Chain A
Amino acid sequence: MRMNRLEVLSKDEIQTIHDESMKILHETGVKIFDKDVLKMLSGNGVNVDFENDLARFPESLVKESLKSCPKSFTALNRDKENGVEIGGDTVYIVSGFYASYVLKEGERVQARVEDVANFAKISDGLKNMNAVGVEVLPQDVPAHVTELHACNAMLNNTAKHLFFSPNTRFSARGLVEMIKAVAEEEDLLKAQIATFQSSPTSPLAWESDSVGVLIEASKAGIACNILPEPMAGATSPITLAAVLLVHNAEFLSGLVISQLVRKGTPIIYGYAPTIFDMREASPIIASPETIALRIAHSQIGRFYGMPIHSIGPDSDAQCHDEQMAWEKIITFFAALNSGTNIMINCGMFSTGLIASYEQLVIDDEILGFLLRVIRGIEVNAETLAIDLIRKVGPRGHFLNQMHTLRHIRTEYWLPELSNRATYDNWLRAGGKDIIAKAKEKTLKYLKERKAPELDPEKKEKIRDIIERYEKMK
């Protein structure tokens, strides 16, 4: 059987978190800094205090929204192919997301458009990456159109499904235009070639731009990952249960907004579990508490029955070292084996601020490893091989059996980077560590892989859109 799912919450505890979230939404309410949204909410039975930008949600409306939000959605690639239904037991891995820097030759340098292109090209080749995110936000183009340039670089270097977390409503609009041009579809609900993400501001508030992104996604028919990130002790009470509670209330407020804009908009139950280290005064995303939070989050997401996201594999380490390795593995494993559908952050570390080409391919390797662990052990007549054991008998061996041959490529995970050679053989092959091997792989991909060509007509269309947006503001 498949490995048992990890759990840290009982059914009753999940129910309590849900019930208390409803109370927070109804009694405390959520601040939303957008008059149009408040008007829309007010017209739909939400108790709005316009003077204080405060919306208090009735339970019935939240329940309705939970019902109208689909249990799954089908993510397509750039060319509207390779549909994957996200929800249920699906695992869908997205490369990294919005780092500011790239680690090159041990040095932290500002990200450029060229890096976005390279990351996309590598991700396109990695077999465990299902989709590609804006790995780094380029700093060598005007700030208001940086995501549009990133999108252009991605579309030209990968055909995989794309993920964006637009920084502004303006940027979201530009991206929607680009995505529509590539999908050749006005209603993107019919062609989910990209997914958006938006975050409320903890505790319990939506900035105008954040809610704007959610609205643009819902209007366009783009699935949106609502990603609250309350920081334990700083922007939520310090206790983990309260973090979950604040997170859930914030999420549900976003869910209601999306469903009021357009019923049936696919929403992802997203989360970036974060604590606040009070010695360093810095947010941390790979502490043991965040591992427990990832697991709890998946459990609540399953309770609601919608696609679940959390960040991972993550690390707070600042270089390719052992801390990086253990944090990457445990964050990945916790999310994967608690039923998370979408994981984003491959290639990143430094609490999400730095990405490296090497780490991206290492994360792909770690993922392959973990997916095999979770697959568990299949027990049946063929896998028990009773007849074979009888046939070979005591003191025989199984190295010359068809049964061995039949299962060698499917029963086992085959590493691409990990060392399995003996010391002598390892030394003879150059005695390389994992970083050196990862670097070789990235160079090979960058040199040999041919980016799947984007239709020239679409290329021109998206270039025109970028040009138009560059002139605005």
Chain B
Amino acid sequence: MEKDYERLLQKLGKAVEEFDAEKAREAAIEAVNFGLDPIAAIEEGLAKGIRTIGDLFEKKQAFLVELIMAGEAMKAGTQVLMDEVRKRGLSVKKLGRVVIGTVHGDLHDIGKNIVISMLESAGFEVIDLGVDVPAEEFIRKVEEAQPNVLGMSALLTTTSPEQGKVIKLLISAGLRDKVRVIIGGAATSERWADEIGADSYAADAVESVKKIKALLGIKEG
């Protein structure tokens, strides 16, 4: 029994590590049929696989495509397991809520979507505002959804000032101390984050998860 439990968790993690969505789905079905706790299956099975690939990516030993494909495999497995969570009337405790979007004038979304995928894999609830998001829309959503973190992406030096504009608007709306702000994208840097008064900057998707966890005082593991 204990052995099967371990074997199933390993199978879930391995499917993610092998970027195999089909295998992840099958392993999730097997776990459900076996009666495995679906939340444990996500957190100790699938998520472990994504952490392994994330670590490799940080060490430059895995490629971006592998990170993304691992995320997709995790998503495939998670879908099955979440059905079971709902069926059992359980609920998964999210690490936090993140509102995210690419700033006004900027249409780049690939990087932002990878960040979303990594955040979701890590257990965050993410509200995606899409691309070309007007500053006022960010403010409205922060007011409405009361996220822990606001993430803004800018790929162009011509659009990165929008990130500063949003922060100014947050201040004038009296929301700045209610949400942590993180920025990213090719046009941004640690220094830019300091300059515009953001709380943090992340260079890539894996780092964004780490930085957001750090902002919220969540321990790695």
Q: Spell out A's residues near B (CB within 8 Å).
A: 397, 399-402, 404-405, 408, 422-425, 428
Contact = CB atoms under 8 A, between A and B. Distances in A.
Interface of B: 19, 63-66, 68-69, 72, 110, 114, 186, 189-190, 203
B115 to A, nearest CB: 13
A268 B186 CA distance: 52
Contacts of A424: 189-190, 203
A400 B63 CA distance: 11
Nearest to B109: A397
Interface secondary structure of B, over-half rule: helix
A468 to B, nearest CB: 50
B186 A422 contact: yes
Given A408-B63, A422-B203, A402 B189 contact: no
Contact of B69 (A400, A423, A425): A400
B109 to A, nearest CB: 9
B19 A405 contact: yes
A405 B189 contact: no
Nearest to A409: B63
A400 B203 contact: no
A422 B19 CA distance: 27
Nearest to B192: A424
Given A405-B19, A424-B189, A424-B190, A399 B65 contact: yes
A424 B183 CA distance: 14
A425 to B, nearest CB: 5
B189 A399 contact: no
Contacts of A399: 64-65, 68, 110, 114
A428 B186 CA distance: 15
Contacts of B186: 422
B111 to A, nearest CB: 10
Contacts of A423: 189
A253 B190 CA distance: 68
- Among B65, B66, B69, B186, find the residue whose CB has the most chain A CB atoms closer than 10 A: B65
Contact of A404 (B65, B110, B189, B190): B65
A404 B69 CA distance: 10
Contacts of B69: 400, 402, 405
A424 B201 CA distance: 11
Contacts of B64: 399
A458 to B, nearest CB: 38
Given A408-B63, A422-B203, A424-B203, A400 B189 contact: no
A230 to B, nearest CB: 47
A45 B111 CA distance: 77
11 contacts: A399-B68, A399-B114, A400-B65, A400-B72, A405-B19, A408-B65, A422-B203, A423-B189, A424-B190, A424-B203, A425-B203
Nearest to A412: B63
A408 B190 CA distance: 30
Q: With a 10 A CB-CB cut-off, give which of A399, A404, A424 has the most chain B CB atoms.
A: A399
Contacts of B190: 424
B189 A397 contact: no
